[in-house]
Chain A
Amino acid sequence: MMASIDQHKEGKKDVTFRVFRFNPQVDSKPYFDDYTIPVERGVTVLRSLNYIKEHIDGSVSFRAFCQAGICGSCGMRVNGLSQLACTTQVWDVLAKSREPEVIKVEPLRNLPLIKDLIVDMDPLVDKMKHYSNWVDSIMPEAQMGKKEFLISEEEFLRYDKATDCILCASCVSECSILRANKEYVSPAVLLKSYRMNVDSRDSLHDHRLAALVQDHGVWDCTHCYRCQESCVKSIPIMDAIHGIREDAIECRGKKDTSGSKHAEAFMSDIEKKGKLVEATLPIRTNGVVWTLQNLLPMAMKMIMKRRTPPPPPLVKSAKGIKVFREMFREMTEHVKQDHKSHKK
C-alpha cells in the first residue's frame, strides 16, 4: 500500500496491460495476456506496448510508425474505445478505467483481424477505390504545369477539416452500420468522398455521387455520431455525411433513392402541417408494395394496440400554422437567392 502511494507521488506506477492475442495460424480462439510493467506519468499506450515487446514478449504484434499522431497506423481499442495508441496517455486512460491500474488493449472492430492488434486495412482501401476517392483533374493534360489552380478561401474552408483525416480507421471501428453490414461504405470513406466532391479541381463529382447514393452508401448512415465522437482529429464527420446528402438532394436532383425521399418528406410535412405525417412515411419512402410486404404484420399488431399513427387528415396542424407557413416560404426565397448568388 505504502509503495503504491510513493509511486503515485513520484508519478510512476505498475500498470497491467491486458492485451488481445490471436494468431490464426496457431490459436483456435482469441485470448488475453496480462503484462504488468512500471509506467511513468507522460508515457503513452504505444510506448508501453513497445516496452512490452522489447522487454517481456516479442511475439506481441501491433502496427505503429510515426509515434506522433500523424501516420494513423496505431489505431486500436484502448479500454473499449477506438483511438491512436501513440497519442493516448496511460494516466488519462487510468483516470477513467473501471478496473484500477488495468488497461485493456484490443484490435479495431469492423475490419478483418490479421494477428493480435493488427487488422487488415484492405477492405477500406478497396472502398476508397470503389468510390473513386482521388482528385481527377478537370485541367486538360496539355495545360498541366503551365496554369495554376486558384482556390478561394471559402472553398478551402469547406474541406479543410476533412483533409485532417489520417485514415486511422477509429471511426470505421466504431460505426454502428458497418457492425451490422460490412458492405457499408464506412465513415472514413464518406469523409474522403465529401472532401473530393467539394473540390472544384475535381472532375469525378457526378460519377462519385452516383455511387454514393446506391445501396450501402450515404443514405445507410443511421446518424449515431459514433464516428465523429471517436475521431482522433476531431473532424465533424457527420457534417461531411450531411454535406453529401445535401448535395444529392439540392444540387444534382438525385431524388430517386428511398433515402432522399425519406428526408424530403420531413421538409414537405413541416411546411404543410408543422408536424410529421408518420402514417404515410413508409409509403412515401419505399412505395406501397414494399410497405405492404415489410410492415403489414407489424401494422396489424399496432392496430390491435391502438398504436398506429393517425391517417393524414387526422394529423392536427401546429397552432398558428398559417403564419408559420408564410415564414417557411419566406426562407425558401432566401435559399433560392443563396443558390443564385452561389452559382454566380
Chain B
Amino acid sequence: MKRYAYYLSCINESMTKEVDRSIELWQNDFGIEFVKLHEGTCCGGSNLEYVSPKHFALVNGRNIALAEKMGLDLIVSCNTCLMTIRTAKKALDESPALKKEINDILKKEGLEYRGTSEVRHLLWVLVDDVGLDTIRQKVKVPLKNYRIAPFYGCHILRPSTVLGHDNPVDPTSLDQLIEALGGQTIPYKHKNRCCGFHTLLVAEQESLNVAAEALQEAIESKADFIVTPCPLCHTSLDGYQAKALKNAGVESSIPVFHISEMIGLALGYSAKQLGIKRHIVS
C-alpha cells in the first residue's frame, strides 16, 4: 500500500464534497492510501501571493512541512491549490533566506520546511504511480460508449516553469486516463483553456463568456460529458453552466464530472455512492 499525504482543499470541504468522497471509495482498489492532512490550511487560492508574499510562503511552506514530517509526498486534487503550493515551494527552494525566515517561525510548531516532499496532482499520481496498465486491469465498467471532452484547466498546466508535468500546449495525461478507463476522448480545443472561475465574483460577465465558450465547444462536438481534474473548473462549468449558456443564447446542457467520479464509475461504483447527484447539471 503506497501512502501519500492528502491536502484538503477548501472547496472540496464545502461545495464539491463529492471529490474526496469518491477518492475514499476507490483508493484501496489501486493499492494507495491518501492520509488526510487535517492540520493543513487554505493555500490562498492564487490570491495570497500578492496580498502578502511572505504569509504566502509561510502558509504553504507549512503545508508542505506537514507532509515532510510524515515522510510523504503531498497530493492535491485542486489545480489552483497545486499551482499555488508548488509556487511557494519553488520560491522557498530558490531562496535560502526566505526558507530560513519561515523555518524560524515554523519551529513553534516543531515543523521544518526542508524541500524533501514533492507536491503532485492526483492525476499525476494515477498516471505515473498507479500506472495506466493497473488502471486498465481494475476497470469493471468500461466507459466505451462515452465521448468525453477532457478539460485540463489552467493551473495543472501553467505556468509550466512551476507545473511542468504536461506540455501546456498539448497535454495528454487526462486523455490517457480517459482511454485507460475505456472512454473515447474527443478533439477539444478548450482542453488547455480557462474556465473563468477566478473572476466569477469580480468580472462575472467575462468569466461567464469564458465558461460558455468551453461548454459550447463540448456540446457542438457532441461530447457526452466534460471531465476535469479541478473542482474550481467543475464549479464554473457545472455550477454556473445554466447562467453562462443562457447568457450566450445556447439552449442545451452538458454534464461535467470530476476525474475521481469518472474513475469511480469505471470501477463499478454507483452514481449515488460517488455523489454525482450533487451536481447542478444532471
Q: Is the CB of A246 within 8 A of B50?
A: yes
User: Which of the residues A177, A275, A282, A326 comes within 8 Å of B10, measured between beta carbons?
Assistant: A275
Q: Which of B80-117 contact A (CB under 8 A)?
A: 80, 101-102, 105-106, 108-109
Total CB contacts across the A-B interface at under 8 A: 199
Stretch at the interface among A20-28, A142-150, A259-267: A259-267
Q: Is A180 an interface residue (CB 8 A)?
A: yes
Given that A221-B199, A285-B201 are known contacts, is A266 also in contact with B154, CB under 8 Å in the complex? no
Q: Is the CB of A330 within 8 A of B204?
A: no
Residues of A within 8 A of B40 (CB): 274, 318
Q: Which of A222, A243, A302 has the most CB of B within 10 A?
A: A222
Q: Which residue of B lies closest to A320 (CB)?
A: B39
Given that A176-B193, A246-B53, A298-B240 are known contacts, is A328 also in contact with B58, CB under 8 Å in the complex? yes
What is the CA–CA distance of A242 and B155 in the complex, to the nearest angstrom? Answer: 16
Shortest CB-to-CB span from B120 to chain A, Å, is 19
Q: Is the CB of A274 within 8 A of B41?
A: yes
Q: Which of B59, B109, B205, B242 has the most CB of A within 10 A?
A: B59
What is the CA–CA distance of A234 and B107 in the complex, to the nearest angstrom? Answer: 37
Q: Which residue of A lies closest to B38 (CB)?
A: A319
Stretch at the interface among B140-148, B175-183, B262-270, B274-282: B274-282
Residues of A within 8 A of B201 (CB): 258, 262, 281-282, 285-286
Shortest CB-to-CB span from A270 to chain B, Å, is 5
Given that A249-B51, A330-B105 are known contacts, is A276 also in contact with B42, CB under 8 Å in the complex? yes
Q: Which residue of A lies closest to B209 (CB)?
A: A180
Residues of B within 8 A of A204 (CB): none
Q: Is A30 an interface residue (CB 8 A)?
A: no
Q: Which residue of B lies closest to A80 (CB)?
A: B169
Q: Which residue of B lies closest to A281 (CB)?
A: B201
Residues of B within 8 A of A338 (CB): 54
Shortest CB-to-CB span from A176 to chain B, Å, is 4
Shortest CB-to-CB span from A179 to chain B, Å, is 7
Residues of B within 8 A of A219 (CB): 199, 202-203
Q: Is the CB of A331 within 8 A of B206?
A: no
Given contacts A219-B199, A263-B51, 4 further A-B contacts (CB under 8 A): A184-B206, A224-B198, A270-B42, A319-B38
Chain B positions near chain A (C-beta within 8 angstroms): 10-11, 13-15, 38-42, 44-55, 58-59, 62, 80, 101-102, 105-106, 108-109, 154-155, 158-160, 167-170, 193-194, 196-199, 201-207, 209-210, 213, 239-240, 242-243, 277-280
> Can you list 8 A-B pairs, Cβ within 8 angstroms, ordered by A?
A96-B167, A96-B170, A221-B199, A222-B194, A270-B55, A275-B10, A286-B201, A327-B105
